[in-house]
Amino acid sequence: MARMFGYSRVSTNDQDLSMQMDALIRHGIDERDIFFEKQSGAKRHRVELNRVLDLLRDGDSLVVYRLDRLARSTRDMLEIADLINAKGANLISIHDMIDTRSPGGKCTFTILAAVSQMERELLISRTRDGQAAAKARGAEFGRPKKLTPQLVKQVRLAYEDKVPMKDTCAMLSISKSTYYNALKMAA
């Protein structure tokens, strides 16, 4: 007897799966047959996705809320679809209204997979452009630098006053390596 499995994914632990899970349950999937994970779709190795793909048999269906929950690149999406198809199973996307049991559904699936990848690439490009523009304006990214000009001056003065390194580190709440880096910068 053909079974329906659900797959749900969010990119981070902070995100909520409940909307996707509710849609899958409304679509008639037993909660015990829904596989979910919290990690990026760009990652190739996803344990729960692999588990549900292994379970698929001829006539079964894998149901997702949206195609982008399944994969982030056209290549990955098509590889997953080929694997599903090779097992004689079907892919259904609730939000995208795709059902690969029909030729029209297969065609629509391929087009939407390409559009999803293009959207992701555009987002990455806009993010990089925004970061480059911010850097050009002097913005700094990453962890704030511990070595400020004021800290370098304090370390240099303590060194010149022969204050022991351990005492200077404790007083300024810095590590030994920060102490030595400050001395190098002061030289």
Instruction: Supply the residues annotated as catalytic.
Output: 11
Q: How crowded is residue 83: how many other Cβ atoms within 10 Å of its Cβ?
A: 15
C-alpha 46/C-alpha 52 separation (Å) is: 10
C-alpha 48/C-alpha 159 separation (Å) is: 57
C-alpha 24/C-alpha 66 separation (Å) is: 11
Backbone phi, psi, residue 93, to 5°: -115, 115
